[in-house]
Every structure is written in structure tokens, then in C-alpha cells.
Structure 1
Amino acid sequence: MSEPQHRPYRRVLLKVSGEVLMGDTPYGIDTKTVESVAEDIREIVQSGVELCLVIGGGNIFRGMAGAAKGMERSSADYMGMLATVMNALAMQDALERIGVSTRVQSAIPMATVCEPYIRRRAQRHLEKGRVVIFAAGTGNPFFTTDTAAALRAAEMQCDALFKGTSVDGIYSADPKKDPEAKRYDTLDYMDVLAKDLRVMDASAVALMRDNNIPIVVFSIKGRGNLLNVLKGQGTHTVVSGVRAA
């Protein structure tokens, strides 16, 4: 049995929502959850896959929520970007403590705490086997971390974008609210947009479609799920340019 059958991806970008890092707490960063995700990432790196990472900031501050409460949208979004930097530093700390070489690159320069985002430098880090965590979104307001993840996946020439969520794939409705919701094994990019499935922002899905990069949606809450899905096992949904039969 050949190794490529188990590891079809050479380089992937993992998008993790900030809410995942809360664990069972109502707010902030749950250390045990961060450590669990870090262990999953270590398994991927040890398998030989080059991995980069984008983490949302919703566990600390969400720009759109701040704007909904009356804040000026640009200011609220910049605050959300700073929240993603905090999450990136927490993940870097967890990874370095278990022996995974990691670099944080921020789209908003803050040289005291991390590197600025430089595409060629990030690619070199990946080639050397380091995990690169992209922080501060795209560096611009009005763009979500989903769009940032899609942009970085394209820039890094990733083979796939893995989105780790609290559910095990894409459903026709919220499975937590609708017990009749149908889970999809495969979807076309246009299906996601036409059905308004909201697994990612429309701009992110369109960017993945234009660059022919598949989106793999799975639950990151169970230990080992990431490696299983990377091998093509476990429960997940794949969004690509190939329609289901």
C-alpha cells in the first residue's frame, strides 16, 4: 500500500474558527483545547505534509458583532484582526512546547511579536517544515478570516483548504437546530454559492473555485480527526469543481 494513497496532499492550509479555541468555556482561549489542536497539527507535520494555518478571532472579538453594536466598521474589524494575532501567538506557544517549529506572520506589521507577512518568506518556512500561522486576516477591514484563508491558500499554492469546525461537514441547514438537516459528502463550488450554505463567505468560495483548490470541511473537535480526514477517512465534506453523481 503506497504512501501517496494515504497522504494525497503536499501542502494544506488549515482554517480554524476562533470559537473552536474556547472549548467549553464561554469566552477566550481554553489552553487544553489549544493543546489538543496543536497535537493534531504535530501529527500532520510528522507525516510530511506542509501546513499553514489561519485562526479566526471570534472567541475574543468579532468585528461584525462590534459594528452591529454601533462601532465604526473599520475600527471594529481592526480590533478583530488583533484578536487573531492573540490566538496565533497562543497556538504558536502550544506548538513550540511540543517541538513543532512555528512562525507567526501578521498582515499588520508588529515586529516586536511576530514577522510581517512576506509571501516568499512564508513559502520558505513551509519548505523547511515549519508551520506558518497567518494572523490579522488580510490586513484590511471588510474582509473576514475565511477570505484571508482562501487568499493565503492561493498564495501558498496549497493543494487544499481544510476548514475545522464544530460540525462534521456541510449540512443543508444547521444540524444543531434542524434534526432533518442533510449532510453532504461532496459539493460543487457553485452548489455552495447557489444554495447559500454559508460554510464560508461567498468571496472565499469564489476564490477557491477560481484557483481550483478544494475545500474540506470537518469537525476538529475530536482528537485525530485532522489526520484521518487528510488520509481521506473520517466524516467530512469536500467542495470542489466536480459535482456529485
Structure 2
Amino acid sequence: MLKAENLKVIYDNKTLALQDINLKVGHGEFVGIIGSSGSGKSTLLKCMNLLVRPTGGKICLDDRDLMSLTSKGLREIRREIGFIFQDYNLIDRSTVIDNVLIGRLSYKTPFQSLFRIFSQDDYERAQKALSYVALEEKMYERADQLSGGQKQRVAIAKTLCQRPKVMLADEPVASLDQATAHLIMEYFRRANQKKNITILINLHDVKLAKTYCSRIIGLKKGSLVFDGKAGELTDDILKRIYA
């Protein structure tokens, strides 16, 4: 279970980004997070693996308090919490498979990480992840030669290579056309249903959230204003979230 308790984030000692967020996400859930720009969606997601460190409150994964971990402990637990960015977060001049292998670095010693020393098992995991997103034929192409949708599929494969319990995705389809966005969302749904990976995903498109997510969280000005099943998200609730 991923849990936030009394979560608060203040930027520059004056800007309140999140306040009093209490949230429990069970194993295997597929949760969409919606809200206007500036509502705190990205901040909330980045708090879940301490890319943003909360000003107050707690973040726990399976009863382990992330805030109390050492640097080594946090590095180890981040293996279990994959993060997918809107801008793909790939190394453009590297090959696709080299980008996917980055997902194995948290399992390596500092020496192995520095010199990118990977085992045969690592390569097999990377190839399997690329096959999962139907990109094995692009394995040795440079990342900057791919389309936006292909880059996001590489980002998913890289995250799958971590063997995560949880996948956090921050607006992963915001810059994609509708057809490609649905394709990417299908890969998330497969990871959730076939691999039983818990997913929290920020989405600007409410229709996509209602189509793919079983649970939806609505944020407004840093506060939680809705948390329920996708079918419970009415027009009146949407007005409250976006007004």
C-alpha cells in the first residue's frame, strides 16, 4: 500500500502547493489524478517517491516511512516506485536498449553504474520489456530517432525493467495525439492488469481518466476535493474541481 498522511508542501516558504492530503492506494489499483494546471497534481506525484520532499506529513510504502530512510534506503525503495515523465526523460544520443537498461542501475554497485556494466540477465530483461511495448525492432536505434509515442513506450519499458510495485506517471500523454494517447494508456492498463502494478497517473484529459482508471482523485488548489470510482465522477463534481 502507498499512503500519504497529512501531506503538506510549501515552496519558497510562501507558496502552498499541497495541504492536508490523506490518501491510501491499495496494491493493484489504477488511479487517475485530475485537476487544473497548478492544482498540485505533479507535486503530489513527485512526493510519492520524494522527488519533492514534503514540508510536513508522511509517505509510506508497505508501512515503510520514506521520510525516515537513509540515502541508501531511499535508493533501494525507489526500485519499487517507477516514475514516468511527460518529456520521456531519455538520453537522446543513446540507443533504445541502453535507455531501457537505465532501469537496472538501482541494482548495481556505484562502480557498475559508473561504467554501465550489465549482466546477461539485465539485457534479457531489457529486451523483454521492449517486446512488451512492441519496440524490439527499434532496440539499436538512437532515442532521438523515435516519435513521441515511441519514446514514451521506451520510458515505460525502462520503468518495467526496474520490476516496480508502483508506477507513477506525470502527464505521460499530454503532448501526444489522441490515437497515440490511447495506445500508451493501453500499455499502462496492461501493466496494471497483467503485472498487477499499482499505477498513479496525472491526466489533463478527463475522458481518458474515466476510460482507463478505476479510481479518480480530484485536486483543486492543493486540496483533495474528490476521491472515488470513475463512474462517480459527475458533471457537478467536475465543475467543483475545475471551476
Give the TM-score, by structure 1 length: 0.33
Q: Which has the higher contact order (CA 8 A, sep 6+)?
A: 2
Could you tell me the TM-score, scaled by structure 2's length? 0.33
Give the greater-gyration-radius structure (CA): 2
Bigger fraction of residues in strand: 2
